C-alpha cells in the first residue's frame, strides 16, 4: 500500500511539475512582468513570482547566448534588454497558442532564435 501511495504521489508531482513548466502556465506571469515595466517591481501589486521566473529565464537564456556557439543559439543585439527579450517571447508564444502545452523554456529559446538569428 505504501508503495502504491508513493507511486501515486510521484506521478502527481511529475505531472504538476510538467504543467508548471508549460507556456500556458508561464504566460500570465510573463504578461504581468511586461505590465510592470517602469515600476519598482518588488512592490508592484501585479508583479508575481511567475513574472520574476519568466524574466529570470529570459535573462538566463540571453546571458548564455553570449557564450554559446552562434550556430546553436541566437545573437541578441548587445543593447537588447531583458524586457525586450520578454516581449519577444510573449509575442511569439501568443502567436502560437496551440503550442501552449509545450515547455516554456524551449519555446522561449525558439522565439529568440527566430527574432535574433546569428549572422554568419
Q: What is the pLDDT along the chain (120 residues), one digit of tens a residue?
A: 444 333 334 343 344 455 678 999 898 889 888 887 665 555 454 457 888 899 999 999 998 887 776 666 788 988 999 999 999 999 999 999 899 999 999 999 999 999 999 876
Q: How confident is the model at residue 120, as a pLDDT?
A: 64
Count Cβ atoms within 10 A of the Cβ of residue 84 and give its class: 0-12 exposed, 13-18 middle, 19 or more buried.
middle
Domain boundaries, the chain: 22-115
- The HSE-up count of residue 72 (CA atoms within 13 Å, CB side) is 6
Q: How far apart, in whole angstroms, are the C-alpha atoms of residue 17 and residue 14?
A: 5
Query: Cα(30)–Cα(89) distance, rounded to whole angstroms?
Result: 9
Phi, psi of 39, deg, nearest 5: -100, 165
DSSP 79: T
pTM above 0.85, yes or no: no
Amino acid at each position: 500500500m505504501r508503495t502504491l501511495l508513493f507511486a501515486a504521489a510521484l506521478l502527481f508531482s511529475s505531472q504538476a511539475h510538467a504543467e508548471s513548466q508549460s507556456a500556458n502556465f508561464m504566460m500570465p506571469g510573463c504578461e504581468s512582468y511586461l505590465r510592470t515595466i517602469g515600476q519598482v517591481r518588488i512592490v508592484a501589486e501585479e508583479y508575481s513570482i511567475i513574472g520574476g521566473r519568466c524574466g529570470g529565464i529570459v535573462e538566463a537564456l540571453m546571458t548564455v547566448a553570449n557564450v554559446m556557439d552562434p550556430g546553436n543559439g541566437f545573437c541578441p543585439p548587445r543593447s537588447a534588454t531583458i524586457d525586450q527579450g520578454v516581449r519577444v517571447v510573449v509575442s511569439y508564444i501568443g502567436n502560437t497558442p496551440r503550442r501552449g502545452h509545450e515547455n516554456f523554456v524551449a519555446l522561449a529559446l525558439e522565439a529568440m532564435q527566430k527574432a535574433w538569428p546569428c549572422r554568419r
